[in-house]
Amino acid sequence: MIDINRDKCMYCGACVGTCPVNCMFLYETRVEVDEDKCIKCGFCERVCPVGAITLIKEAKA
Amino acid sequence: MKEMEYDVLVVGGGPGGSTAARYAAEKGASVLMIEKRQEIGSPVRCGEGISLGWLEDYGIKEDESWLIHRIDGAKVVSPSGFTLEINAKMAGNEVGATIRRDFFDQMLAEMAARAGADIMVKTSARSLIWDDKHNVAGVKARCNGEDCIIKAKVVIGADGFESQIGRWAGISTVLKQGDIATNFQYHMIGIDIDARFSEFHLGSIAKGGGYAWVFPKGEDEANVGLGVTLDMIKQGGEPKRLLDRFIDKHPELKKGKIVEQVAGAVSVGVPPDITVKNGVMLVGDAARMADAITGGGIRNAIRSGKIAGETAGEAIEIGDISHINLYEKRWRAEMEDELYRDWMAKNKLVTLSDEEFDDLISALSEADIENLSVYEILEVVKEKNPKLVEDLMSFL
């Protein structure tokens, strides 16, 4: 899953415009992720200017 | 549920959106521009440096409320500190300025409003409405927290780097990692700078995939920022880390006080093959029209906004929506060559090593260049580094 630290996030939308499958949306002051569409590529984590995003790799069930 | 109907709906209240709204309204169309934030222009996501000399083409009068500091030229600084000074004369008499981007955007929105466009802030488009002919017929939105329906004959996507409208309409605005620059900036007070010049620092300080900038806002204050392309980044938070390192290496900046932080991304690629589809037109950053070398997006947003607004207005006037397809041809005729030229130059620049940047900048700074044309630059560099010129020539 994608964890967004809302205290670090500056809601700039860098992650939203970078997401290759458009599974993120910038609301006025928060970003939300559609986990069902997410392909866990990690682009959002790397592009974030302030390091607010962490891709948490889930252990296989 | 609240329902509204307009000829033209513009999504996004930045320079591209406000300009499109203004010119469409001037053609007599009924226009609504919506902005998701509660205030136009805020929060700022911009280095706030612009060139001057083109604003009057768009009826924009220079005003101290947003044009807060004029500069005489730019200094391009290589990794070892060689400096190329570019003055107004060399750059074809184009001078620059640092602006208050929030006030600038508000001024443009006010012009749109005075031309007759309606504006709704704190209104966020959430999905498209389609008609039975598979054309976009408006958007579903949240207006001050309430669901609403906004019907429109033409929708202009001016929704910036996040670019949702285009993707919802079937236009792929996905960028390659090398065509995305992510940025961080401080507004700093109490620094020692030459306030007459903007500074651009090249090379490994931005991992060779970008630059650090100092854009003066006054005698002792500036926007100090750094951008780097995503393909150079392994870990999140890189722009901030690199910027802190850059400032740490510059004592004249290090003593400054930070009064504002700015984050954001820009495209440093080229627009998609299609920017008009199913009744939707894209302008500015939403259409990936920012300049690939500088990452500056304001001018191209305004240029494309005007063309889109006028074309949409004409379509309404003659009662033929398919007329908006002309937008594609019109903006490409005016802007495309420039966008591709700068993109190819950027793709070359990101391959240069620190040594090559030093060679390039030192050769140029020693030469007596009166008119900074591309060919004059190449002539000078050729003497020092023939191989580099050979590579550069291949895309000219």
Residue B43 DSSP symbol: S
Interface test with B, best of A47, A53, A54 (most B CBs within 10 A): A47
Domain assignment present for A61: no
Mean pLDDT over the full length of chain B: 94
- Strand spans (E) along B67-209: 67-71, 73-77, 83-87, 96-99, 118-120, 123-130, 136-143, 146-157, 180-189, 197-202
CATH number at residue A11: 3.30.70.20
**What are phi and psi for residue B121, nearest 5 degrees?**
-95, 170
Selecting from A18, A25, A50 the residue whose C-beta is nearest the C-beta of B230 gives A18
> What six digits make up the tokens of B217?
């806002």
Asked whether residue B93 carries a pLDDT value surpassing 90, the answer given is no
Distance in angstroms (rounded) separating the CA atoms of residues B14 and B106: 9
Domain B177-267 has CATH 3.30.9.10: yes
* Interface predicted TM-score (ipTM) of this complex, two decimals: 0.95
Between B27 and B396, the higher pLDDT residue: B27
Residues of chain B positioned with their CB less than 8 A from the CB of A26: 36, 162
Asked whether residue B151 carries a pLDDT value surpassing 90, the answer given is yes
| pLDDT tens-digit map of A18-59 | 999 999 999 989 999 999 999 999 999 999 999 999 999 876
Pick from A34, A43, A20, A14: nearest CA to B127:
A34
Domain assignment present for A48: yes
Overall number of domains in chain A: 1
pLDDT band at B372 (very low <50, low <70, confident <90, very high): low
B227 beta partners: B183, B211
> Closest-CA residue in chain A for B143?
A28
Distance in angstroms (rounded) separating the CA atoms of residues A44 and A52: 9
Query: Domain boundaries in chain B?
Result: 2-48+100-175+271-344, 177-267, 346-393
| pLDDT tens-digit map of B302-324 | 999 999 999 999 999 999 999 99
Domain assignment present for A44: yes
B122 contacts chain A (CB < 8 A): yes
Between A38 and B394, the higher pLDDT residue: A38
| pLDDT tens-digit map of B98-132 | 999 999 999 999 999 999 999 999 999 999 999 99
Range of the domain at A40: 2-55
Residue B352 DSSP symbol: -
Four-CA torsion B255, B259, B261, B262, nearest 10 degrees: -110
Superfamily for domain range B2-48+100-175+271-344: FAD/NAD(P)-binding domain (3.50.50.60)
